């Protein structure tokens, strides 16, 4: 009888352990659903869509994942701003072609939830702002001095035929922060969604370009 009791006790104990393990795993999974953006590649895919993220990778941008990014708050000027890659058929621009300088600004960085705010502007040779963009939502990833900022922007364009086109872009900006600015900065975009372009005048969903600072240093301004 003692032996039978031992088996029964052991069986009940194992059932208890199994139940606790299952409960712990379920609790962990439930908690995991509320972790938010944690700087992983999966988080970036969830935020941008898999196609948009893959499009940026195909353009050649270096993505620095991680949940301990450096402080990048400030404004910087990408100059000379040149084309590094494109996937637009018959783009009309060659690799190495120069575009207007681009001012990029980062603020309200919060490393607890990895949120950050972003604005950008194209600057002509006379110093005039020719266009602007603002992130509707942005996150920062990275570790050490290396970082990537993932951004969604939404806007409206008027085409030559008079159509009003709504566009959602996925942007990524990568580099290495220093006291002087950002080393080896790359700035890329992909069209995530486009509606209203009935004459097909603008670039299509999944298409985009990658730019770099030709001299390697994007200075603080």
pLDDT digits (tens, 9 = 90+) for 64-99: 999 999 999 999 999 999 999 999 999 999 999 999
The pLDDT of residue 17 is above 80 = no
pLDDT digits (tens, 9 = 90+) for 107-144: 999 999 999 999 999 999 999 999 889 999 999 999 99
Question: d(Cα 183, Cα 164) in Å, to the nearest integer?
Answer: 38
pLDDT digits (tens, 9 = 90+) for 149-195: 999 998 888 888 888 989 999 999 999 999 999 999 999 999 999 99
The pLDDT of residue 214 is above 60 = yes
Cβ contacts of 110 within 8 Å, gap of 6 or more: 116
Q: Which of 178, 204, 206 is nearest to 53 (CA)?
A: 206
The pLDDT of residue 103 is above 70 = yes
Question: d(Cα 124, Cα 177) in Å, to the nearest integer?
Answer: 25
Q: Where are the alpha helices (DSSP H) in 61-215?
A: none
Residue 135, Cβ neighbours under 10 Å: how many?
20
Give the start-to-end residue ranges of the domains of the chain. 1-34, 41-220
């Amino acid at each position: 009888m003692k032996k039978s009791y031992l088996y029964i006790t052991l069986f009940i104990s194992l059932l208890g352990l199994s139940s606790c393990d299952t409960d712990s795993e379920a609790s962990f999974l439930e908690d995991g659903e509320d972790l938010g953006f944690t700087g992983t590649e999966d988080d970036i895919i969830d935020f941008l869509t898999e196609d948009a993220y893959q499009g940026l990778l195909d353009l050649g941008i270096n993505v620095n994942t991680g949940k301990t990014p450096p402080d990048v708050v400030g404004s910087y000027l990408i100059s000379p701003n040149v084309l590094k890659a494109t996937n637009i058929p018959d783009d009309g621009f060659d690799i190495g072609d120069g575009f207007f300088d681009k001012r990029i600004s980062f603020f309200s960085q919060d490393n607890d939830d990895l949120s950050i705010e972003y604005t950008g502007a194209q600057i002509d040779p006379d110093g005039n702002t020719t266009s602007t963009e603002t992130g509707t939502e942005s996150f920062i990833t990275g570790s050490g001095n290396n970082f990537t900022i993932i951004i969604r922007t939404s806007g409206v364009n008027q085409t030559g035929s008079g159509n009003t086109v709504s566009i959602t872009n996925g942007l990524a900006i990568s580099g290495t922060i220093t006291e002087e600015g950002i080393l080896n900065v790359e700035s890329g975009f992909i069209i995530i969604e486009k509606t209203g372009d009935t004459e097909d005048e603008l670039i299509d969903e999944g298409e985009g370009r990658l730019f770099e600072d030709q001299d390697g240093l994007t200075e603080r301004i």
